Chain A
Amino acid sequence: DAGITQSPRHKVTETGTPVTLRCHQTENHRYMYWYRQDPGHGLRLIHYSYGVKDTDKGEVSDGYSVSRSKTEDFLLTLESATSSQTSVYFCAIASVSTSTDTQYFGPGTRLTVL
């Protein structure tokens, strides 16, 4: 998985609780992304980062925040989890945003919000 790990790999939590997912890379890539994957919707971008402390919103950012204090770590936080955030979350990395490179994905985190 191109030097990408995600933790935890599985989590069950209750509505209203805060949840933080971690993405860690050993590739020193500049760009990092958080996606969620749901049946019928494919992969949808939540937030992305183009450098330390530089982040921007994606297609489905409501209810999520991110932080990137180090090149290797990108955190996704659900401030108050809701059942609609039950999903599989994937982190991806890229060395450049265009040209000959593209995104490589982590193994995913399966989140269930009860």
Chain B
Amino acid sequence: AQSVSQHNHHVILSEAASLELGCNYSYGGTVNLFWYVQYPGQHLQLLLKYFSGDPLVKGIKGFEAEFIKSKFSFNLRKPSVQWSDTAEYFCAGVFYNQGGKLIFGQGTELSVKP
């Protein structure tokens, strides 16, 4: 079955540190991939998405992600985090012929210390 996994449950960083959150999916076919962020008390907000083309995609708030097909990965990165990036981050995918059903990873809680 198709699945998405995030291996980091909770990441703690200091401000200005670089961030990389891992995301892997288990499917060899066509997949559209997303990163969502949920700030405390707020709704899931789309950070970025990858459908095809340039495997390095840029999103809002300085985030980017790289799609590596050979590794079934779609890791999220940010060169320098801020305290305001404290949130939960969700990787999700829509797999081919799945009718728009988003399959989510477990989520990674990011805490940034000022």
Q: Do A and B bind? A: no
Q: Point out residues on B near A: beta carbons under 8 Å.
A: none
Q: Point out residues on A near B: beta carbons under 8 Å.
A: none
